[in-house]
Chains A and B, each alone.
Chain A
Amino acid sequence: QVQLVQSGAEVKKPGSSVKVSCKASGGTFSSYTISWVRQAPGQGLEWMGRIIPILGIANYAQKFQGRVTITADKSTSTAYMELSSLRSEDTAVYYCASGKPLDYWGQGTLVTVSS
C-alpha cells in the first residue's frame, strides 16, 4: 500500500515561487506516476501535471505550462511540484496522487498567496 506524505503549509508573497514535496513509501516509487492536483477554496479539483519517476518525464496541463515544474528524486522517493509567479488565485490545497488512476493521495498542502 502506497503512502504519500506532503510537506507543510506555506504562505507566499505574490510573484514568488513555492515548492511542495510528496514523499512516497510502500510500492516501487519509480514505477508509478505521481500527479499534482489542486483545489482552490470552495472550488473543484484541477489537474496540474504528472511525472513518471523512472523516466523523469513530466507532462503538464496547458494552463500551467511554463509556470509549473514537477520533478522526482528516486533516491528519496520524493516528488516535487514548484509553481512560480504566484498570484492570489493560486491559493489552494495542493495534492499529490499516485497511479493511473489516482488511487493513493497525499494529505494535501495549503499554499496561501498573500501580500
Chain B
Amino acid sequence: QSALTQPASVSGSPGQSITISCTGTSSDVGSYNLVSWYQQHPGKAPKLMIYEGSKRPSGVSNRFSGSKSGNTASLTISGLQAEDEADYYCCSYAGSSTLVFGTGTKVTVL
C-alpha cells in the first residue's frame, strides 16, 4: 500500500478558501466512500475533521468540508483563520481491514 498523495504545502490569506487534494487509486479512495481528514498541530495528536468523505463530527466548524471525485478526495477550508494553520492528513480505507494515510499537507495562513 502506497501513501495517498497530497501537496506538501498550501497557503492562503485570512478569510480565503483553500483546497487540499488527496489522490489515491481505484483500490482505496476510488473504491470506498471512507475518506477521513485529520488536523494536527505541532506536538499534538491528530484530530478528526471529516469522515466518510464529507461528514463533520460534532464540534468541528462548518468551514471544513470534504468531497470526492474518482480517485481524488478533497478538503476545503473556507474563511481561513489563523488557528487553521496546521498539518492535514487524509486517510482512506484500502480494503482487507486496512487503512492508508496521505503524505500530509502543511497549511500556512499568510
Interface residues of A (CB under 8 A from B): 35, 37, 44-47, 50, 59-63, 95, 97, 101-103, 105-108
Contact = CB atoms under 8 A, between A and B. Distances in A.
A50 B97 contact: yes
Interface stretch (B16-24, B72-80, B98-106): B98-106
B48 interface: yes
Given A59-B97, A103-B48, 7 more contacts: A44-B103, A45-B101, A45-B104, A47-B91, A61-B98, A97-B46, A108-B45
A106 B91 contact: no
Interface size class of B (residues with CB under 8 A): 20 to 34
A107 B45 contact: yes
Interface in B34-87: 34, 36, 38, 40, 45-48, 51-52, 57, 87
A39 B97 CA distance: 21
Contacts of B52: 101
Contacts of A101: 34, 36, 48, 51-52, 91
Nearest to A105: B45
Given A101-B51, A107-B45, A62 B1 contact: yes
Contacts of B1: 61-63
B10 interface: no
